[in-house]
Amino acid sequence: MVITGRLRVQILILIMLIASTERTFAKLEQGETTEAIEEENNELEPMVISRGPYFVKSASKNVTAIVGKTAHLSCQIKNLGDRTVSWIRHRDLHLLTVGRSTYTSDQRFVSIHNHHSDDWTLQVRYTQRRDSGIYECQVSTTPPIGHSMYLSVIEPVTTVLGGPEMFINRGSTMNLTCIVQHSPEPPPSIFWTHNSQEINYDSPRGGVSVITEKGEITVSYLLVQRAKDSDSGKYTCNPTTANPASVVVHVLNG
């Protein structure tokens, strides 16, 4: 096989990227934190700036994403010139993208870059828990320079207190409490269903209301006054950014 000059350069870039990543990974295994490595990189930044490309580190943040949603890791590079930008996953030292090309069979990973922009973004679609970890944006200088950030993929937990079954007396007030935890931000909305039908709080039945308190832990209260036999059944709390949770209510005579 004839190795062209361009292919030789690409092979050299790949070797340098892997070598740089292995050094960073070794530091992490020895107990160094990403902050310590970042501080070391900061000390070298004046030299990086003087010889060419450098990272705008304030534009790159750790990212928290919800399972199944899309995550974006941002990397801003000044004075890039004709160098190549690559994204590497530290967990297995896997080269994900080079330039705007994806170098992995996992097509959930996409490199996004607009011409004349300093921003290089790694898009991770349909995130999974196993995607959590350190990702590095690298530039093909000699030696390569890199900037690492952490992606945390979490799965919010929804719980209806008192489940899976509740028993209440006819004529009493039914109070169903739904709790959403471990979400990077409160769900935009929560709706309740009764036997798979969305509850209409303005229905002729009356006496049905909901109170939702948003925060690090979001709580939604469904209140049904003067419970009667027809109020028995399956109630489901449906946050827009988390899995639903249900409880079966039995209205008892007396």
The structural domains of the chain, ordered by start, are 5-154 (2.60.40.10), 157-252 (2.60.40.10)
- Please state, rounded to an integer, the average pLDDT across all residues of the chain: 85
Band (12; pLDDT cuts 50, 70, 90): low
pLDDT tens for 48-59 read 345 589 999 988
What is the reported pTM? Answer: 0.62
Q: What is the mean pLDDT of residues 195-202?
A: 90
DSSP letters spanning the chain:
----HHHHHHHHHHHHHHHHHHHHHHHHHTT--HHHHHHHHHHHHHHHHHHS-EE-GGG---EEEETTS-EEEEEEEES-TT--EEEEETTTTEEEEETTEE-SS-TTEEEE--TT--EEEEEE-S--GGG-EEEEEEE--SS-EEEEEEEEEE--EEEETT-SEEEEETTS-EEEEEEEES-SS--S-EEEEETTEE--TTSTT--EEEEEE-SSSEEEEEEESS--GGG-EEEEEEETTS--EEEEEEEE--
